[in-house]
Amino acid sequence: MSGWTSGPLGAPRAADTDRVRALRSASSPWAGLRVLVTGIAVSGFAAADALLEAGAEVVVVDARTGEGERDRGRLLEVLGARVLLGPEHVADAPGGWSGVDLVVTSPGWHPDAPLLVAAALAGVPVWGDVELAWRMRPATGAARWLTLTGTNGKTTTVEMTASILRAGGLRAAVAGNVGTPLLEAMRHPDAYEVLAVELSSFQLHWLSTDTEASLRPLASACLNVAPDHLDWHGSLDAYAGAKGRVYEGSGVACVYSLADARTERLVREADVQEGCRAVGTTRGVPPVGALGVVEDVLADRAFVAERRTSAAELATLADLSRDGGPVAPHTVDNALVAAALADEGGVAAVALRDGLRGFTPAPHRVAVVEQPGGVRWVDDSKATNAHAAAASLAAFDPVVWVAGGLAKGARFDDLVAAHARRLRAAVLIGRDRDELAAALARHAPDVPVVLVDPPQTGPVDALPDALMDAVVAHAAALARPGDTVLLAPACASMDQFTSYAHRGDAFAAAVRRRDAR
């Protein structure tokens, strides 16, 4: 590859910059474009693969040298990429590659990574995988995008949206931060009609500021904004600003929560297409232009022609219930947003009901594990921050709360103060459990608190199960008939588990082991 030599990251020629700006579809002139891809995990691999197929010259770098990275690297090399693994390829602050036309970064890479800083200083465009996928859409017949973000509830809501779209007979997929990688969805041999796209704050940060060429979804939504990932974004304002980019360029509707003033402000500040309108959602009776709830009916006063005088029934709360159990308030929120997005996707009213009725939540999201002896055991291990835990706690009363893990710099005073009256007891685990214990002492001093230490002996791979056995034993001793033992950790899991799914599986298995005895 001529021109691909290590050294200062030189600014591209003007003609190359113009060429990058002109990349608008899969039919654009990608061949010969010199692209540096940072990261070789799922999104980086997909980006490199798509670019190579389009004829670009690709160099991929990653600091990691594990087996997975090496395997993906060998495959990309067979396809024609140059792959460089190891910290020496990403750590040199003024380093980079001369003659680069475009940098495509994996979403987790922080903006202060040396290569990305060097690219920005040299005027080289830096895109994320979402920007690349949008620019590589087919020139004709491309899938319509319904985009969604939020601190909590994203995955459930995009999956609900896709369920409604499929019930309406559309070929639809969940893509983006979950589901099918966007670049794979763009290249699927049996083209999708609509994509329900989940976007993280990291992915949104890396969208291009070229509003004419960048992402222009049919409709978009931000479920909520609460403190999270502040270590990455630097401040709540910066994090909210990234979330707000989901609305940029929207064509028909921007969906927001009437109960969250921040999401409404993000809509007001967004640069959208002519004719795009704001659509609110509420758990209460909806005003004109919104979706909400009238008694036990999900009602639409946004999309019906007679919205000033009447509302259309979308579904009932019973349609959202699983096994006849209670419907969590945040499930109602998610369903209303999914209905609003899917309506813009072009489905009939009956599909809204059937899609919601047939939707099955993914594991570890307010999932009832067992109900022995009149005690309900619920796994909401996906509640990895205070905002998500608050939504989960709001659905049950009384609660023996199982919480703790990696706090990511969060505070828990507001969470505990708001739900103290629901708590029968708390069982705390994890590295940052003392933060939770202190908040409980301040705002719920009468609530019994048990701190569970990890086992000190035994096989390493058995320690998570042994920890959860102890947690379940303590929770069972504290719970009374009619109580809910709720795993809603308000923290990340990686201090003691490999993932939130591993944590939830360990909890459910410990509950079942105890019930079997």
- What is the per-residue pLDDT across 291-324, written as a single tens digit (0 to 9) for each? 999 999 999 999 887 777 778 899 999 999 876 6
Q: How far apart are the first and last CA of the chain?
A: 65
Going by pLDDT thresholds of 50, 70 and 90, the confidence category of residue 8 is very low
The string of DSSP letters for 336-355 reads: HHHHHHHHHHT--HHHHHHH
376-379 sheet: strands from edge to edge: 367-370, 376-379, 484-487, 399-403, 423-428, 449-451
- CB 256: neighbour CB atoms within 10 A? 29
Per-residue DSSP letter, 409: T
- How far apart (Å, rounded) are the C-alpha atoms in residues 460 and 463? 5
Output the pLDDT for position 2: 40
Query: Would the pLDDT of 7 be above 50?
Result: no
Are the C-beta atoms of residues 40 and 73 closer than 8 Å to each other?
yes
Output the pLDDT for position 311: 85
> Residue for token digits 């990511």?
408
Going by pLDDT thresholds of 50, 70 and 90, the confidence category of residue 442 is very high
- pLDDT, tens digit, 9 for 90 and up, residues 164-186: 999 999 999 999 988 888 998 88
Range 420-449 average pLDDT: 96
Residue 309 annotated in ligand binding:
no
Range 460-487 average pLDDT: 91
Going by pLDDT thresholds of 50, 70 and 90, the confidence category of residue 467 is very high
The string of DSSP letters for 234-252 reads: SSHHHHHHHHHGGGTT-SS
Q: Pick the closest to residue 401 from 431, 384, 422 (CA basis).
A: 422
Range 329-356 average pLDDT: 91
82-85 sheet: strands from edge to edge: 82-85, 57-62, 34-38, 102-105, 126-128
Residue 153 annotated in ligand binding:
yes
Residue 149 annotated in ligand binding:
no
Are the C-beta atoms of residues 435 and 412 closer than 8 Å to each other?
yes
Q: Which helix (H) or strand (E) holds 269?
A: helix 261-269
- pLDDT, tens digit, 9 for 90 and up, residues 223-253: 998 777 767 777 888 888 989 999 999 999 9
Least confident of 95-99, 112-116, 140-144, 273-277: 95-99
Q: Domains along the chain?
A: 14-132 (3.40.50.720), 143-357 (3.40.1190.10), 367-516 (3.90.190.20)
- pLDDT, tens digit, 9 for 90 and up, residues 64-73: 999 999 999 9
- How far apart (Å, rounded) are the C-alpha atoms in residues 57 and 16? 14
Q: Pick the closest to residue 43 from 179, 139, 142, 152 (CA basis).
A: 179
The string of DSSP letters for 268-329 reads: HH----TT-EEEEE-SS---TTEEEEETTEEEESSSSTTTTT--EEEEEHHHH-STT-PPPH
Residue 176 annotated in ligand binding:
no
Collapse the DSSP code of 107 into the 3-class scheme (helix H, G, I; strand E, B; otherwise coil) and give the result: coil
Query: Would the pLDDT of 10 be above 60?
Result: no
Output the pLDDT for position 249: 94
Range 376-380 average pLDDT: 93
Q: Which helix (H) or strand (E) holds 507?
A: helix 500-516
Q: Pick the closest to residue 281 from 299, 266, 296 (CA basis).
A: 299
Angle between helices 463-478 and 500-516 (to 10 degrees): 60
Query: Would the pLDDT of 458 be above 80?
Result: no
Range 96-125 average pLDDT: 85
For residue 148, the Cα-to-chain-centroid distance in whole angstroms is: 9
Token pair of 515 as six digits: 């019930």
Going by pLDDT thresholds of 50, 70 and 90, the confidence category of residue 93 is very low
Query: Would the pLDDT of 160 be above 50?
Result: yes
Output the pLDDT for position 230: 67
Per-residue DSSP letter, 180: B
For residue 455, the Cα-to-chain-centroid distance in whole angstroms is: 33
Output the pLDDT for position 14: 43
Range 494-504 average pLDDT: 93
- How far apart (Å, rounded) are the C-alpha atoms in residues 11 and 98? 8
- How far apart (Å, rounded) are the C-alpha atoms in residues 353 and 343? 11
Q: Which helix (H) or strand (E) holds 158?
A: helix 154-167
Residue 157 annotated in ligand binding:
no
Q: What is the widest separation between alpha-carbon atoms in the chain?
A: 73
Cα-trace Rg, the chain: 24
Which amino acid, residue 168?
Answer: G
- How far apart (Å, rounded) are the C-alpha atoms in residues 507 and 7? 51
CA distances to 59, 198, 202, 228, 270 from 241, in Å: 31, 17, 11, 13, 10
Output the pLDDT for position 307: 75
- How far apart (Å, rounded) are the C-alpha atoms in residues 104 and 107? 9
